[in-house]
Amino acid sequence: MAVRRYARPDEPWVRAWFRDPELDRWLGPLDDNWCAHVETETTGVQLVVEHEGRPIALVGVEWDPLGDRHAVTDVAVDPSRRRSGVGRVALDAALAWSGHPAATGWVAFVDPDNAVALGFFDALAWTAGAVDDGLRCMTSPAGCAHRGVRAVAGPRPRG
């Protein structure tokens, strides 16, 4: 499993993934402004998670400047690998990426109508909190506070 920053050469496969109706509905639309923004972002990062040299997920993070709780902004899994456990492994790898500034924990903001995403975070023992600005705040479990620390329990792929 490898984790790296999104780069311009990733744009074609990311655009192809976002032609998927489910990804587009919950995380889209993807446009030129998004691509330009993530390449120059300084307060967060879009991470490409790869397995055997191929992208399996794209995970967005917004860093908390106070080092409290960084926010997962999106988890996009290759549509051909959806609901196979890849999201769990990819999120684990992305949260453990060594490039994150230190923080005390993680949050994710999820559309309350997105039952799949809510179920995903619930299965990972994230706690559902209040709805703020139309999004449900999910808080990471204890034990995933600092960069490099295993964030989500679950199997690792062989390889």
3-class state of residue 101 by DSSP = coil
Q: Taking all residues of the chain, what is their mean pLDDT, rounded to a whole number?
A: 83
- Rounded to 5 degrees, what are φ and ψ at 27? -120, -10
pLDDT digits (tens, 9 = 90+) for 67-99: 889 999 889 888 888 878 888 899 999 999 999
Q: What is the pLDDT of residue 57?
A: 92
Enumerate residue ranges in the chain where pLDDT < 50: 145-159
Instruction: Determine, yes or no, domain membership for 154.
Output: no
Instruction: Determine, yes or no, domain membership for 118.
Output: yes
Instruction: Determine, yes or no, domain membership for 61.
Output: yes
**Residues contacting 103, CB < 8 A, separation 6+:** 63, 64, 67, 68, 69, 70, 145, 146, 147
- Number of structural domains the chain divides into: 1
Nearest alpha-carbon partner for 62 in 45, 78, 76: 45
**Residues contacting 34, CB < 8 A, separation 6+:** none
3-class state of residue 16 by DSSP = helix
Q: What is the pLDDT of residue 156?
A: 34
Instruction: Determine, yes or no, domain membership for 158.
Output: no
Instruction: Determine, yes or no, domain membership for 65.
Output: yes
CATH code for the domain in which residue 93 is found: 3.40.630.30
Residue 83, domain extent: 2-139
Instruction: Determine, yes or no, domain membership for 12.
Output: yes
Instruction: Determine, yes or no, domain membership for 146.
Output: no
Instruction: Determine, yes or no, domain membership for 7.
Output: yes
